[in-house]
Amino acid sequence: MNYLKQFFSGANIIVVLPHYIAVHYSSNKNYDFSHYSILAPLWYGLWNVISYIVAEKLKIGIFYRFILVSTISSFAIMCISTYFRTYNFTKKQWMKYYIGIFIKYQLIWNIIVKNIEKNL
């Protein structure tokens, strides 16, 4: 039952809404919004379950758990986006994207997901 709670804490509309807004208004994307709208909640939900399992195994607290998952998942999405060329960006735009994703993931994981999980 805990894994279900973790999944729904991460796959919450409040969590993915900032991404939906950013992607919806992006004119440089090379993918369909309808696919993204399904994958984004799955991405956050699965990462939250994985982080919960790792935290239990390594016996780390919630603070370090969310610092770890926000950093790893942001780098993972940066690598995936770069590899699949999900956007038509210049080098400068890619750098802005990377910084934006890193900051967005830190805020979403360490504020939104953590508070949803605590209150669910």
- Kindly report, residue by residue over 9-55, the tens digit of the pLDDT: 999 999 999 999 999 999 999 999 999 999 999 999 999 999 999 99
18: amino acid identity, one letter: P
Q: What is the mean pLDDT of residues 55-59?
A: 97
Task: Tell me the pLDDT band of 1, cut-offs 50, 70 and 90.
Answer: confident
Q: Could you tell me which residues come within 8 angstroms of residue 63 by beta carbon, excluding any fewer than 6 positions away? A: none
Would you list the DSSP string of 62-106? HHHHHHHHHHHHHHHHHHHHHHTT-B---HHHHHHHHHHHHHHHH
Residue 56 has pLDDT above 90, yes or no: yes
Cα torsion for 59, 64, 70, 73, to the nearest 10°? -30
> pTM (2 decimals)?
0.94
